[in-house]
């Protein structure tokens, strides 16, 4: 007899970028419920020190556990790179976004030249590069810290013809074009929103690795292996929380969730008091 677990999947990020991971989970696993927390009051994590990132991660995980989730997903590339060890004390499975995107990139590349576009903290951690070289020692890894891309996304400058986004990406991606990478890991959850512009800059010969898509596939496999899929006997009920709301909040949610935005109510919480 197949077992099931109708508890929600907990997803957290330093801000709203992790909504792109939530969107991929909704797409691939439509029966699953999601409890999402975006630490918008303390974003970005990518420019913080390791100890601060670990502290914030532990608070975020504690908040999700208070909602009785069956799994916690660190949808933040920075957390996945520098604070994944916080999972050691969790009573539920922990999924990060780095290893799954690395495996997808290594299995995709034809010429062994892989690019990584991420936050400065993620790049400085060396997590992607280390894992790539463990799986493919002959790989040539080209990294770029796309610090300006998160605010560009949150400003809504994501149209394929947006001059600011195009010129910024040209600057960040030039080393990758010069090196001839054929695979690019989008190492921040905001970046899939810029996929059409990135393809315009790089050309269609470069395969983009969406961390959210790779992670959603891994989540599905783990839930199947552990007989923990939602059996669909309860109505889908996603819950979204954030530590701060700004004037641009609704617009950013619309951009990141895309077609999967169903006007979800987002509740503000004081994460320091959890």
Query: What residues are annotated to the active site?
Result: 76, 188
**Nearest in space to 15 (alpha carbons), one of 42, 34, 50:** 42
Question: What Rg value do the Cα atoms of the chain yield, rounded?
Answer: 18
Inter-CA distances, 38 with 184, 200, 260, Å: 25, 30, 17
Q: For residues 169 and 200, what is the distance between their CA atoms, to the nearest angstrom? A: 10
Q: For residues 40 and 242, what is the distance between their CA atoms, to the nearest angstrom? A: 6
Phi and psi at 210, nearest 5°, equal -85, 115
Residue 39: CB atoms within 10 A of its CB come to 27
Q: For residues 223 and 244, what is the distance between their CA atoms, to the nearest angstrom? A: 32
Structure-block tokens of residue 112? 């062994």
């Amino acid at each position: 007899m197949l077992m099931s677990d109708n508890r929600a999947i907990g997803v957290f990020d330093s801000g709203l970028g992790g909504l792109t991971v939530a969107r991929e989970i909704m797409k691939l696993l439509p029966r699953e419920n999601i409890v999402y927390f975006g630490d918008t009051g303390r974003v970005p994590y990518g420019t913080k020190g390791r100890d601060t990132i670990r502290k914030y991660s532990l608070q975020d995980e504690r908040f999700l556990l208070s909602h009785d989730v069956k799994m916690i997903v660190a949808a933040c590339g920075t957390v996945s790179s520098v604070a994944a060890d916080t999972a050691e004390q969790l009573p539920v499975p922990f999924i990060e976004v780095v290893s799954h995107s690395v495996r997808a990139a290594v299995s995709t590349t034809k010429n062994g030249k892989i690019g990584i576009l991420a936050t400065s903290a993620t790049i400085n951690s060396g997590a992607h590069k280390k894992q790539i070289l463990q799986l493919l020692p002959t790989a040539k890894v080209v990294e770029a810290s796309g610090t300006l891309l998160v605010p560009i996304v949150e400003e809504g400058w994501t149209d394929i013809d947006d001059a600011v986004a195009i010129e910024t990406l040209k600057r960040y991606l030039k080393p990758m074009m010069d090196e001839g990478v054929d695979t690019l890991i989008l190492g921040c959850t905001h970046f899939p929103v810029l996929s059409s512009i990135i393809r315009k800059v790089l050309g269609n010969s470069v395969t983009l690795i969406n961390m959210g898509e790779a992670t959603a596939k891994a989540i599905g496999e783990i839930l199947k292996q552990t007989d923990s899929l939602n059996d669909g006997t309860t109505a889908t009920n996603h819950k979204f929380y954030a530590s701060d709301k700004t004037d641009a909040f609704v617009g950013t949610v619309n951009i990141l969730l895309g077609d999967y935005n169903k006007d979800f109510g987002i509740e503000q919480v004081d994460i320091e008091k959890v």
